[in-house]
A and B are shown apart, each in its own frame.
Chain A
Amino acid sequence: MKRAKLERRLKKNLRTRFGPVVNASVEGRIIRVFGRLSNWEDIVEACSMCVMRIPGFHVVNDIELEGTDLPPMRKPEFTDDALEGRKPDVLVIGGGISGCSIARELTRWKLDVLLVEKESDLALQASGRNDGEVHPGVDLNKGTLKQKYVVKGNRMFDRVCRELDVPFRRCGQYVGFTEKSALPVVRLYVWHRRHICKISDTRILSGRELKKREPGLNPRFRFAIYNPSAGCVCPYGLTIAYGENAAANGAQISLDTAVLGMEVQDGGIRAVKTNRGTVRPKLVINAAGVFAEEVAAMAGDRFYSIHPRRGTNSILDKKAGSLVKSIASIRTLTKNTAHTKGGGILHTVHHNLLVGPDAVETFEKENFATEQISVDRVFEKQVKTAGGLSKQDIITYFTGVRAAAFEEDFIIEKGRKTRNLIHCAGIQSPGLTTAPAVAVDVAKMAVQMLGASGKIEKNERFSPVRKGIPRVKDLPTDERDRLIRKNPDYGRIVCRCEEISKGEIIEALKSPIAIPTVDGVKKRVRPGMGRCQGGFCMPLVAQIISEYTGIPVEDVCKSGPDSKISFGKTKEVLL
């Protein structure tokens, strides 16, 4: 289609729907949508309307949201010069699953890798706020980057998780149907996925077989699609493991480091300004999640937009864990409205159930507040997957924000206008599954780009193996006994719900990327993740952090620097 013709068509569609307040232009492969609207959902709709299914074409959203100031990016309040003058070969922006896995793959070469993350730990945003499903990729169409990488990524999980010592369970996924009449259509669909999309193990199970495997599911399921390659992993556990392995192989991980601006000259990034000094990297990798668009703009290479989409998951007590032992959801043939999906039920590697997520468009990239309506909506749908599901079993819930591009596909490519830049953007679900494969490709791309000015050698000392902290309660009795005799702290149970010992907590404080906060420890070894939600162990964990690090108890934080748990000693604190 000719540019002018395309532009005319888009303008007309927008005018019909929204009147003269929204307009579009096509410049190169960028479809720019601009104007003013007072409602965020309308903006998302306008931009989504303009999506062209032509490879390389992207929608950029320049519609102003009337009457609302978009919240600025949360960033650390301090500045220092810890990174001043650093000239790394590669600067990775973002400490989520993408950034960490890319950094790790880059350390296979003799490269100076610096990863910056604005939060005070890794995986604090989307990578730590999802259900950890390792997708089979059955719901994706051939031709998308998502589909290409999900197939590759899924196959890599056994090896990657073994190398990084991260628990992974290939538990399989069931999509149940209550209408027998859907069978012919689903048969066709499954045939297509097997033979065209190469998800070669997906198949149909009878209702009887399903009941035998998962007796807790809706007894009215007549048949199900079964995907044996689906699995689950702890998403922040994997991200941290990738980060630790990258660090062990020489990458520098700089937390509390926000990118504030860039100096771009002659189509190249010359300098990257952070709150911890100015860095002059040879190559920048943009893995900034919901802020990838802002980073692209700083680099003078904004050719896509991110529309954040919130999702909330509930975590259920392990006691409910036997209800569903794999991943399950219900599907009806009535078409789902846009993205109002209700997720599914997932049995985690730690044997809780996760129920969700839903999907709600939002302009707030960092609003992780939960809402009761999200929990209610998801449950309303998921009790149809498993009738025994009960809100009584909820121990907590959390919200994450997906970094979706309007094309609903990944953007993994070299900068278009900016030479020394790689985008790894629009990484939403199944971004956790795809990460191992994407990281390999992005690293390859980076090495090739850097190789233009001199050969990049392999890092002979690279070790793909990372040793995690022993999960003492899962050890065989004699091994556990031996470990305790070597270090009695492994026999001192601090978290009663999750059976976590003092020894494990101290190991977390000794780990390569140690975060001496209650949440930092919780993310690494799980005290406080159980049914009492830290009611019993939180004071003890704070005390252990204090003892080990020398930080006074009153200065121990829950997570970030402004999250102190105590105001000081009684009788001393000024109120």
Chain B
Amino acid sequence: MTDYDVLVIGGGPGGLAAAVSAKKEGAGVLLIEREARLGGILKQCIHDGFGLLRFGEKLTGPEYVERFEEEFHKLSISYEVQTFVTSVRKTEKGFYVYAVNAKGVREYRTKAMVLATGCRERTAKQVFIHGTRPAGVFTAGTAQHFVNLMGQMPARRCVILGSGDIGLIMARRLTLEGAKVLGVYEVKPVPSGLTRNLVQCLEDYDIPLFLSHTVTRVFGTGRLTGVEIAGVDERMRPIPGTERYVECDTLILSVGLIPENEMAESLGVPLDIRTKGPICDNRFMTEADGVFTCGNATHVNDLVDYVSESGEIAGRAAASYKKRTGQESEKGRVMMDADASLQYLVPQKLNLGSDLGKVILYFRSSRVLTEGTLTVAVDGQKIFARKYQNLKPPEMERLEIDFTGQCLTKESRVLVSIAEGGGI
């Protein structure tokens, strides 16, 4: 058994950033990755657009992650690939992490853990598509794996359900490889993906987008032969009589991502029903002492730059966790309430023992607003307000707030809300 200060689970952009920043703080770090190579999902994201915020340039996924990998290797951080954590046990002496890889069953002990486990895609059955079970129904990520990592063509005539970013990217990718993308269908009245992807992936390739439509059924016994499309009402239920059959050999789903937190749950970490990730503080520590979260396991980010940022904060905090004084924990944490005008807010808590000078908030608006104002109030007193233009649920916003001088205590009431319009 080997001892570490910080054990990072997951070698994608979040985990790599966490490991690097923890190491820079002087911690003994081990990173465990379940796949054969580091890089996480970015390995298969060969399109560009990554790193605009962080590096000021448009990188492909592999290029973006390579920059972190280089630093990671330069710092000689220990890591294990194709190593799968089977269980974690918390004891007085730290966390005991059990894993398997080709060498056998491994056991590690660590003071702090960063869970950078990413997210998974919702499946056809989770959006209640019925009918038979033919080949040719893929989530967008699976289709992307086939095309970009295996050089295999999973589609010829294809329908895409869901206008999430990976769905849009795959519409373009498959078109470039010669497939016919018949259309992208979105159950909501507004697109789910980033505007830039709508333009660059659909409009530029004349791929039609059908809003308020969904796939209700698939046909075919061997390979998919077609799908049934239906219009939906304002509650997103199919409208009888609007069904129509579309002949195709592939259905690709981009119907949402779910943070993977099974390990966090096994440690008793409470999740936020809005983010589906752990409730955490501004240092990305969850409600379980010593367990940190970051990246898409915390909430689904639209930009990898934010994933890296959260990884860095979590890694740094995890490294200092061992040095934590009793004082910090005594000060405790205060809840930040986000009302219904926000789809969610991360972090959900502020650590009163931490530096509150530059707290980073990530949030999504619940509604589309051409003009909106986000306000933060402490005990009914407005302490911060910012005007926004074009707030929409698919686009996450990032914000820095200085909470020093607010004399926050555990009993303070911090409320974050968005009002329509620009008036402050």
Contacts and interface: CB of A to CB of B under 8 A. Distances in A.
A480 B141 CA distance: 32
Contact of B150 (A372, A533, A553): A553
A567 B155 contact: yes
A565 B419 CA distance: 49
A322 to B, nearest CB: 12
Contacts of A566: 146, 150, 152-154
A156 interface: no
B248 to A, nearest CB: 13
Given A532-B121, A558-B135, A575 B178 contact: yes
Nearest to A475: B105
Contacts of B155: 567
Interface stretch (A96-104, A245-253, A392-400, A443-451): A392-400
A531 B265 CA distance: 15
How many chain A residues sit at the interface, stated as a range, is 35 or more
Contact of A532 (B34, B120, B156, B249): B120
A499 B217 CA distance: 30
Given A532-B123, A553-B152, A554-B152, A484 B102 contact: yes
Contact of A488 (B86, B103, B178): B103
B192 to A, nearest CB: 18
A88 B128 CA distance: 47
A570 B149 contact: no
Interface in A346-392: 368-372, 375
Contact of A562 (B123, B177, B221): B221
Contacts of B179: 575
Contact of B123 (A319, A480, A535, A565): A535
B265 A319 contact: yes
Given A573-B153, A575-B178, A561 B104 contact: no
A484 B100 contact: yes
A407 B156 CA distance: 49
A557 interface: yes
B146 A564 contact: no
Contact of A397 (B125, B142, B152): B125
A353 to B, nearest CB: 15
Nearest to A396: B125
A569 B223 contact: no
A9 interface: no
Contact of B222 (A371, A531, A562): A562
A570 B126 contact: no
Contact of B154 (A74, A531, A567): A567
Given A369-B132, A532-B120, A535-B139, A491 B152 contact: no
Given A74-B221, A493-B34, A568 B101 contact: no
Given A370-B130, A484-B105, A559-B135, A539 B149 contact: yes
Contacts of A567: 153-156, 249
A499 B136 CA distance: 25
A180 interface: no
Nearest to B155: A567
B102 A491 contact: yes
B141 A535 contact: yes
B100 A539 contact: no
B250 to A, nearest CB: 9
A568 B125 contact: no
Given A538-B142, A539-B145, A564-B223, A481 B105 contact: yes
A538 B141 CA distance: 11
Interface in B175-212: 177-180
Interface string B25-44: 00000000010000000000
Contacts of A539: 142, 145-146, 149-150
Contacts of B152: 553-554, 565-566, 568-570
B153 A477 contact: no
B134 interface: yes
A561 B180 contact: no
B123 A575 contact: no
B153 A569 contact: yes
B102 A488 contact: yes
Contacts of A488: 102-103
A76 B123 CA distance: 30
Given A395-B123, A491-B103, A562-B223, A372 B135 contact: no
B240 interface: no
Contacts of A74: 221
B50 interface: no
Interface in A541-575: 543, 553-554, 557-571, 573, 575
A75 interface: no
Contacts of B102: 484, 488-489, 491-492
B244 to A, nearest CB: 18
Interface in A243-281: none
A575 B222 contact: no
Interface in B101-139: 101-105, 120-121, 123-126, 128, 130-136, 139
B105 A480 contact: yes
Nearest to A370: B130
A17 interface: no
A485 interface: yes
A496 interface: yes
B151 to A, nearest CB: 5
A557 B135 contact: yes
B377 interface: no
Interface in A493-513: 493, 496, 499, 501
Contacts of A369: 130-132, 217
A198 interface: no
Contacts of B217: 369
A564 B121 CA distance: 22
Contact of B86 (A473, A485, A534): A473
Given A535-B121, A573-B153, A565 B86 contact: no
A397 B101 CA distance: 33
B84 interface: yes
A533 B151 contact: no
A446 to B, nearest CB: 34
A555 to B, nearest CB: 11
B182 to A, nearest CB: 13
Given A565-B135, A573-B153, A493 B84 contact: yes
Nearest to A517: B135
Interface in A379-437: 394-398
18 contacts: A74-B221, A369-B130, A371-B130, A372-B128, A395-B126, A484-B103, A485-B103, A485-B104, A491-B100, A492-B102, A501-B100, A553-B152, A558-B134, A563-B135, A565-B135, A567-B156, A570-B153, A575-B153
Interface of B: 34, 82, 84, 86, 98, 100-105, 120-121, 123-126, 128, 130-136, 139, 141-142, 145-147, 149-156, 177-180, 217, 221-223, 249, 262, 265
Given A375-B128, A396-B125, A484-B105, 11 more contacts: A319-B265, A485-B104, A491-B104, A563-B135, A564-B135, A565-B136, A566-B152, A566-B153, A567-B155, A569-B153, A570-B151
Closest 6 CB pairs of A and B: A562-B222, A558-B135, A488-B102, A493-B84, A563-B135, A566-B152
